[in-house]
Amino acid sequence: MSLKRAARLYIVGFIFIVLNFYPSKNLFSADVGNCLLCHKYPGLSRIDEQGKMKLLYVNEDIFNISVHLKVKCEGCHTDIKKIPHDPVNKVDCLVECHIVEPSSEQKFSHKDVDNYVKKSVHAALDKYGMPKKFKEDLPTCKNCHDEPLYRPLSFFKQVRPGISEAALGRCRVCHKKEDFIIRFYNHVTTRLHRTRNPINIAEVCARCHDDPLLVERHNLGTRAVFSYGETFHGKAARFLDERVPDCLDCHVNTGESVHQMLSHKDSAAITYRENKYLACSNIECHPGTSQQFASYKVHAEFNLDQSPVQYYFTLFFIILTGGTLLPLMAIIFLDLIRRLFPDAVIPRRR
Amino acid sequence: MKNIFYKLYVVAFMCLTVWFIVIIWNVTFHHVIEEYENRKELEEVATIKEQKKREAEKTKFERIILQSEERVKHYLGYRVIEEQRIEGHFHHIGFDIGPDNRSYCIRCHGDMPHDKVRDLRAFLNMHAFFIACQTCHVKTEGRGPRVYKWYDRKTGELVPSPVLTYRAGTYNAKIIQIENTGVGEPQRVDSQERIDFASEFKEREKELSEAQKSKAKKMIHEIVSKQPSICEDCHQRESPLLPLHELGYPRDRIDSILSTEVVGMVKKYTEFYMPRMLHPGEQNKENEK
């Protein structure tokens, strides 16, 4: 084979590989209806009749790293049958989309999630099927969820989070479709750890549980996320530590859906007085801890009215720490002034 | 020299000490003050509740304004996405567009001014994101060739085309028409003189009589054409209103804007909805029926 011919073959081969295996953005897109023709523009928006801003923009880049990337637009916006379409109805998250659930081979839907929520403390109806008081305060899907995003993990060497190219290399040995490989990797590794950072979870819960009006209406006794922020766990979460428990770790029975959150008055709940220690004694947290370990007031605010004992105890340490360190710093500062101006004197008044 | 370095060292150490003082203050006594303020806040809950009821309208305004102020950070481990949070908006925004500081129209009409024609309002608002109001609502026929330029939303200055730098529609710039008045150099339709007049009217509106207000409004809207440019003026191959090539659009983007797909959709809209846009009053009448 001449050198020229070999070079030609290499170039053709290279182009073939690039065209087939290069992870183009379009490979991921589920935009079969070309909805992004209009919806890629961020200004696509209006103020509706209730005075609420409706932003109709979809950021394609971010959508392509979301768990719904393979769901077609009409999979959720089921009432869109023609283009141009009429104003759309609110999305029903319980609708069956075109995704097939592989274990049952049935169309996928979030109906099971709804069943869990119906049994949870956040259900709009009580156990007798009657609407709860202040029903409008109880969350619906979008109160807690925006578009869920993949948080892939790298297991090789663990130098950085994200996708591990080394792992993908292994996948490529058997699997040929690049978008399948990346999606599968993203899906599995995202599910192997927290789907959201503890601080993001806390922010979601805070929208209701730190609202003083809501706290008062439902007689909740504490601003849950504010008081979480006062604890070691909350402070570590603020530094983006992912090893600390977030709201869901302590309020959901281990191994159950986070949507199955029960009232602390329910004896089956992990937050029930006698069960609380089970959350702490988890093998990943404080294994072997007793009931007494969890008997302290977890959501005590630094508040004189709510928790006077904790308040005075904390106040003592604040005074001790501040009262010691602040004068010390002041002395150091004065000493430095003297070093800066060794001969300076304040003239005496005559 | 040694003395100077020593002094600098001492000053740096002083700064460090002050920094420590601030930190210690924040985690100790400031915490006590914060708790006191929080307690006060809770005590005021009942009062706030009453106030909120009374200020229902104001709250509505605040809700719209504040919802675009709330910011969130999504920590994905390998990436942090920071964005505005809009209540009830499911999809992510993922970037920021600053306010249009130049436009004097939006001071009264708002950032999303199109709301009359139900079927078109979102499209018109979408275009208003990167096209100045005057570009469609002011026609300067018979004054020589039309010239269009980009201006920066923040500074208001004319800038080079951002089309190749940003994704479609996410430019921090808008297209404005340059007007040939016949006297002196061509000037922007949104001239400083017009901005000053509109701004002064806005400031002194309360002290004006009804007749004076009408007169001022008429003068501000004097240049506004009764028939604004419509979609088909640009989305057509023959002679599109906007010189897309001069505005920095590459060939493929021009092809897309003037493609059968877009032009076809515009035609469908024109067929079904456009007549109503040209007679906005009729839409309301139909709704009333």
Task: Say if residue B227 is exposed, middle or buried (CB neighbours under 10 Å; 0-12, 13-18, 19+).
Answer: exposed
* Helix, strand or coil, per DSSP, at residue B95: coil
Same domain, yes or no: B188 and B278 = yes
In terms of domains, do B84 and B149 share one?
no
Question: How large a percentage of chain A has pLDDT more than 90?
Answer: 47
Number of domains in chain B: 3
SS3 B28: coil
Whether B123 and B198 map to the same domain: the answer is yes
Amino acid at position B72, single letter: V
Same structural domain, B142 and B266: yes
Domain span including residue B81: 57-96
Give me the phi and psi of A174, to 5 degrees please.
-105, -35
Put simply, the answer to whether A91 touches B129 (Cβ < 8 Å) is: no
Query: Chain B residues with CB inside 8 Å of A196's CB?
Result: 74-75
pLDDT at A20: 42
Question: Does B39 lie in the same domain as B138?
Answer: no
Percent of chain B with pLDDT over 70: 81
Segment A222-274, tens digit of pLDDT: 889 999 998 899 999 999 999 999 999 999 998 899 999 999 999 999 999 99
Is B288 a member of any domain?
no
Q: Give percent above pLDDT 90 in chain B.
A: 21
Residues B28 and B124 in one domain: no
The answer to whether A146 contacts B130, with C-beta atoms less than 8 Å apart, is no
The whole-angstrom separation of Cα A85 and Cα B287 is 19
Please give the average per-residue pLDDT across B166-175, as a whole number.
86
CA–CA distance, A161 with A172 (Å, rounded to integer): 20
Predicted pLDDT at A49: 78
Residues of A in contact with B79 (CB under 8 A): 162
Candidates A61, A145, A329; nearest CB to B17:
A329
Contact B76/A150, CB-based, under 8 Å? yes
Is B7 in Cβ contact with A340 (below 8 Å)?
Answer: yes
Convert the pLDDT of each residue in B193-249 to its tens digit: 899 999 999 889 888 899 999 999 999 998 888 888 888 888 888 888 889 999 999
Report the C-alpha gap between B38 and B29 in whole angstroms: 14
Q: Pick the residue of B17, B269, B271 with the most A CBs within 10 A to test the interface with A by mutation.
A: B17
Say yes or no: B160 and B207 in one domain.
Answer: yes
Is residue B250 reached through a cis peptide bond, with omega within 30 degrees of 0 on the bond before it? no
pLDDT level of residue B66 (50, 70, 90 thresholds) = very low
Token pair of A303 as six digits: 């508040």
Structural domain includes residue B219: yes
On chain B, the residues whose CB falls within 8 A of the CB of A46 are 112, 114-115, 121-122, 125
Q: What band does A86 get if pLDDT is binned at 50, 70 and 90?
A: confident
pLDDT higher than threshold 60 for residue B280: no
State whether B116 and B251 are in the same domain. Answer: yes
Suggest the residue from B27, B38, B59, B75 to mutate for an interface test with chain A (most A CBs closer than 10 A).
Answer: B75
Q: Considering Cα of A203, then A209, then A211, then A214, what sign does the dihedral take? A: positive
Q: Which of B77, B261, B272 sits opposite A162 (nearest CB)?
A: B77
> If you average pLDDT over every residue of chain A, what do you get?
86
**Contact at CB, B18 and A333, closer than 8 angstroms:** yes
Residues B129 and B61 in one domain: no
pLDDT digits (tens, 9 = 90+) for A24-37: 444 455 677 788 88
Q: How many residues does chain B have?
A: 289
Looking at the structure, do residues B227 and B174 belong to the same domain, yes or no?
Answer: yes
DSSP calls for B100-140: -SS-SSHHHH-SS---SSTTTHHHHHHHHTTB-HHHHHB--
**Band of residue B142 on the pLDDT scale cut at 50, 70, 90:** low
CB-based contact A55 B272, cutoff 8 Å: no
Mean pLDDT over residues B67-77, rounded? 78
pLDDT band at B54 (very low <50, low <70, confident <90, very high): low
Q: In the structure encoding, which two tokens stand for residue B272, read together?
A: 């079904």
